[in-house]
Amino acid sequence: MTGRYVIHLPVRASDLARAKVLGRTAGRALGFLAVVELGGITVSAEDDQCVRHWVFCDRTLDGGRRCVLRADHVTPCAARLAGRRSL
């Protein structure tokens, strides 16, 4: 045992795109908590949970921070969303 536990929180979305948006929204809302790993957020179809789709890019950036953009972004990686100031 690793001593770590994962919370599985089933929610309904009408399609994959909406599921990813909901995953990003939930992740950003809880992202201030040190225990939330944004890069680990995935979504899957209810009847095919072995096929998971990444929600965030999560590439490692200079300084050890992670990219917070969606998994399939085409712009350069960013450590924070545009228009938001660091706290």
Domain contains 53: yes
- pLDDT tens sequence across 75-87: 999 988 776 554 4
Render pLDDT for 34-57 as a digit per residue (tens, 0 to 9). Answer: 888 888 899 999 999 999 999 999
Q: Tell me, yes or no, whether 87 lies in a domain.
A: no
Q: Does 4 map to a domain?
A: no
Give the chain as a DSSP string. --S----------SSHHHHHHHHHHHHHHHTTSTT--GGG-EEEETTEEEEEEESB---B-GGG-B--SBTT--SPP-SS-TT----
Domain that holds residue 55: 9-82
The b-or-e profile of 46-74 (16+ CB within 10 A means b, else e) is eeeeeeebbbbbbeeeeeeebbbbbbeee
When divided into structural domains, the chain yields a total of: 1
- Quote the pTM value: 0.76
Q: Is 1 contained in some domain?
A: no
Residue 2 in domain: no
